[in-house]
């Protein structure tokens, strides 16, 4: 996995070109399967790891050239670790870090459009190259009145291409995620809505401010300040937060106390959002968190925020109630409410899915059933992956005609998987607080 | 009051007065003036004064293209960073600024060139002078690009590069004319992507190595 990211030559322009890109990837993936089975005939002991590896490389290369919403989908998939085999995950997590940069003249142009000034006129210093890539734009460093700032600039035309990009990704998602079409459309709508929100930088500033003010009391958290006068529909200016991404920070070998402190801050941050604000920073990928030397956790990028409807919230979190799995009647009630099962299912299907979901819940709810949970235990995550693999390969699961689970759950699941994963990366042991109404 | 200010500019710059008057007429009437006589009368000017500066409306239209181009170059030159840009960035910067200048004249341009059939006939002749000036500008960029190795020297083909950049300008213009996106964001994206493609093609690539290798095999056989 050490190969360097390919330097971006050109970005496919029109929808036709984008489509062509996907088709060529599709062909390559097909080819990989052919290769796999050919090799397997010669060497029956070969496992599917290599095949997944090849597919992941091709798909990743293709997606990374289509900056914008396709990249976003790659990110989403990389978060849903339970759904994807290992090889895909490693590749897709790379997509979270790098994307082709905007040229500096375009950056200048964007500034002129919204402020009638060049970045040099607006700031005392403005970096010519991007310091970080964001999925739908990039981040430059700037200085004004002695303060270091981060300036996020959005790629032009992303908002317009969200819908058409998602249509292009659809056949891929079908194949990759082992879903049927109906099931997919059920979720695509939700994804499209979130993506469109993410292109609205005004909304992002408003939400960032709202959530960071509401979470202000949580210790060891740091939020950047946002500057309205230097922000617009396509540009966000905020404080530059010094520090390291979690992965790099871990390489400095911090003490266990410090790791727990960061982990706890992260947990408390999510706990407060989910149970008190009922809206949550639904993009817990490593690039959005910055750890400072003293173990303060900086949180940036509130592009993706999921607001939970009340009835979904109470249903979903009833699932973590201790001892719930033993109360069949209450469990059935929740399963119906969350669309896990419906009356269209046959009795056999109902039985099967109840079993599957109960198993999943008791596994994923584990951290909630104890006072402190040690997320550094890889065995726990292995267990989740194994369950995910087993279920997604089960013919009973594959042939189900129904969409399962409320669409609101999509981003909440993603948030929790992301949170678990970050805590695992941090090797942290945290006090897993529960909402008061559950006990 | 109005005549007073007009008188003032009259003595200063007839040429500017004619150009501005022409644009205003087009914007207000949606069509070209019926004759030079009528147009001059509108401007309170003798017909022969018009002929001192232009011989036809085609000349005026041509001068407008040149003016947009020169304003662009001027605006580009005011940007401090421009000098530090690589050739690719310089060309990008030129196009982004040019589009901004065009935007100031969008209605005028739409009246004249929106109809594809007539634009096909009139545009090349109207823009001829602009093209000459642009080609000079482009040749300079290309020369600089060759010096900095951003552009690969290829026999025969390199000489056509200024022509290629002109085609790109034409492409951007047509794209912008029909762009319906808010703030012409799509045009921005189109510029970014097409210029990157053009400069990737002009830069040294695998194809050069391949040709070199093929030549070697052919010669040493």
C-alpha B59, offset from chain centre: 16
> Looking at this predicted complex, what is its ipTM?
0.75
Helix axes A181-198 and A69-79, enclosed angle (nearest 10): 120
B positions 40-99 inside 8 Å of A (CB): 79-81, 84-85, 88-89, 92-93, 96-97
A8 pLDDT band, cuts 50/70/90, is: very low
Higher pLDDT, A57 or B68: B68
The residues spanned by each domain of chain B are 2-53, 59-216
The residues spanned by each domain of chain A are 242-439
pLDDT score of A436 more than 70: yes
Helix axes A378-393 and A347-364, enclosed angle (nearest 10): 170
Q: Which residue of A has its CA nearest to B183?
A: A113
pLDDT recorded at residue A56: 53
A351 pLDDT band, cuts 50/70/90, is: confident
Q: Cβ(A287)–Cβ(A247) under 8 Å?
A: no
pLDDT recorded at residue A95: 40
Q: Which residue of B has its CA nearest to A117?
A: B79
Coil/strand/helix, residue B34? coil
Task: List pLDDT tens digits, range B122-147.
Answer: 888 888 999 999 999 999 999 999 88
Task: List pLDDT tens digits, range A124-153.
Answer: 999 988 887 766 788 999 999 999 999 999
Across A111-136, average pLDDT = 86
Please state the pTM of the whole predicted model.
Answer: 0.71
Which residues in chain B have their CB less than 8 angstroms from residue A108's CB? 79, 81, 93, 96
Q: Cα-Cα-Cα-Cα dihedral of A272, A276, A281, A282, to 10°?
A: 110
A12 pLDDT band, cuts 50/70/90, is: very low
Which residues in chain B have their CB less than 8 angstroms from residue A202's CB? none
In angstroms, the CA A419 to CA A421 distance is 5
pLDDT recorded at residue A179: 57
pLDDT recorded at residue A140: 93
Q: How far off is chain B from A395, nearest CA to CA, in Å?
A: 44
DSSP state string for A286-350: GGGEEE-TTSPEEE-----EEEPPHHHHHHHHHTTSTTGGG-HHHHHHHHHHTTSS-TTS-HHHH
| Least confident piece of the model among A253-262, A418-427, B50-59, B151-160 | B151-160
The count of C-alpha atoms lying within 13 angstroms of the C-alpha of A381, restricted to the half-sphere facing its C-beta, is 19
Q: What is the CATH number assigned to the segment(s) B59-216?
A: 1.10.357
Who among B183, B188, B196 is closest to A10 (CB)?
A: B196
A63 pLDDT band, cuts 50/70/90, is: very low
Task: List pLDDT tens digits, range A64-83.
Answer: 444 444 444 544 544 443 44
Task: Test A11 with B96 for CB contact under 8 angstroms.
Answer: no
Who among B79, B181, B190 is closest to A108 (CB)?
A: B79
pLDDT recorded at residue A83: 42
pLDDT recorded at residue A144: 93
pLDDT score of A332 more than 50: yes
Across A80-89, average pLDDT = 42
Which residues in chain B have their CB less than 8 angstroms from residue A116's CB? none
Task: List pLDDT tens digits, range A373-406.
Answer: 999 888 888 887 777 767 766 777 666 656 666 7
Which residues of chain B carry a pLDDT beneath 50? 1-10
Residue B114: CB atoms within 10 A of its CB come to 11
In angstroms, the CA A30 to CA A51 distance is 11
pLDDT recorded at residue A323: 74
A197 pLDDT band, cuts 50/70/90, is: confident
Q: Residues in chain A whose beta carbon is closer than 8 A to a beta carbon of chain B?
A: 9-13, 102-106, 108-110, 112-113, 118, 120, 128, 155-157, 159-160
pLDDT recorded at residue B181: 84
pLDDT score of A28 more than 90: no
Q: Cβ(A43)–Cβ(A50) under 8 Å?
A: no
Which residues in chain B have their CB less than 8 angstroms from residue A11's CB? 192-193, 196
pLDDT score of A86 more than 80: no
Across A204-210, average pLDDT = 91
Coil/strand/helix, residue A235? strand
Task: Test B92 with A128 for CB contact under 8 angstroms.
Answer: no
Across A309-335, average pLDDT = 81
pLDDT recorded at residue A4: 36
In angstroms, the CA A21 to CA A23 distance is 5
Across A405-410, average pLDDT = 75
């Amino acid at each position: 996995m050490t190969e360097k990211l390919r330097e971006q030559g050109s970005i496919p322009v029109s929808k036709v070109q984008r489509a062509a890109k996907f088709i060529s990837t599709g062909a390559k993936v097909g080819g990989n399967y052919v290769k796999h089975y050919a090799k397997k005939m010669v060497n029956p002991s070969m496992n599917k790891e290599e095949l997944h590896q090849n597919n992941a490389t091709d798909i990743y290369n293709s997606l990374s050239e289509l900056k914008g919403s396709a990249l976003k989908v790659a990110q989403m998939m990389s978060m849903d670790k339970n759904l994807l085999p290992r090889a895909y995950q490693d590749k897709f997590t790379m997509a979270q870090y790098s994307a082709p940069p905007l040229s500096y003249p375009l950056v200048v142009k964007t500034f002129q459009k919204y402020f009638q000034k060049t970045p040099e006129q607006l700031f005392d210093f403005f970096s010519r190259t991007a310091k970080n890539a964001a999925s739908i734009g990039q981040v430059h460093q700037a200085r004004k009145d002695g303060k270091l700032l981060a300036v996020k600039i959005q790629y032009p035309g992303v908002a317009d291409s969200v819908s058409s990009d998602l249509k292009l990704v659809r056949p891929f998602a079908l194949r990759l995620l082992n879903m049927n079409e109906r099931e997919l459309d059920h979720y695509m709508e939700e994804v499209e809505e979130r993506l469109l929100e993410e292109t609205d930088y005004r909304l992002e500033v408003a939400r960032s401010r709202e959530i960071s003010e509401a979470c202000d009391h949580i210790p060891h958290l740091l939020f950047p300040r946002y500057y309205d006068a230097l922000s617009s529909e396509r540009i966000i200016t905020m404080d530059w937060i010094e520090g390291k991404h979690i992965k790099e920070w871990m390489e400095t070998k911090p003490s266990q106390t410090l790791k727990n402190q960061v982990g706890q801050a992260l947990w408390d941050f999510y706990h407060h959002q989910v149970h008190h604000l009922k809206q949550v920073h639904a993009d817990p990928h490593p690039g959005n968190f910055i750890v400072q030397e003293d173990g303060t956790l900086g949180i940036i990028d509130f592009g993706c925020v999921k607001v939970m409807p009340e009835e979904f919230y109470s249903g979903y979190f009833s699932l973590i109630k201790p001892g719930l799995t033993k109360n069949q009647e209450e469990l059935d009630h929740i399963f119906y409410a969350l669309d896990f099962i419906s009356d269209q299912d046959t009795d056999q299907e109902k039985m099967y899915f109840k079993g599957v979901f109960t198993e999943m819940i008791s596994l994923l709810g584990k951290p909630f059933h104890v006072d402190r949970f040690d997320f550094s235990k890889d065995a726990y995550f292995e267990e989740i992956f194994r369950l995910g693999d087993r279920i997604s390969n089960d013919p009973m699961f594959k042939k189900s005609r129904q969409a399962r689970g409320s669409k609101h759950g999509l981003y909440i699941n993603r948030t929790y998987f992301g949170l678990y994963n970050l805590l695992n990366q941090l090797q942290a042991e945290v006090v897993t607080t529960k909402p008061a109404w559950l006990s | 009051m109005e005549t007073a200010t007009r008188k003032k500019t009259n003595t200063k710059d007839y040429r500017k007065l004619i150009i501005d008057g022409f644009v205003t007429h087009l914007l207000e009437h949606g069509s070209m003036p019926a004759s030079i006589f009528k147009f001059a009368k509108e401007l309170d000017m003798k017909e022969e004064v018009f002929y001192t500066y232009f011989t036809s409306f085609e000349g005026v239209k041509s001068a407008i293209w040149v003016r947009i181009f020169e304003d662009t170059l001027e605006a580009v030159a005011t940007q401090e960073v421009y000098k530090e840009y690589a050739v690719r960035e310089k060309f990008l910067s030129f196009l982004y600024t040019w589009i901004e200048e065009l935007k100031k004249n969008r209605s005028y341009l739409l009246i004249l060139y929106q109809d594809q059939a007539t634009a096909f006939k009139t545009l090349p002749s109207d823009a001829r002078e602009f093209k000459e000036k642009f080609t000079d500008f482009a040749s300079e960029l290309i020369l600089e690009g060759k010096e900095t190795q951003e552009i690969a020297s290829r026999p025969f083909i390199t000489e056509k590069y200024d022509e290629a950049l002109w085609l790109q300008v034409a492409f951007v213009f047509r794209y912008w004319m029909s762009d319906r996106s808010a703030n012409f964001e799509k045009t921005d994206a189109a510029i970014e992507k097409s210029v990157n493609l053009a400069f990737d093609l002009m830069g040294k690539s695998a194809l050069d190595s391949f040709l070199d290798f093929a030549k070697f095999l052919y010669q040493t056989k």
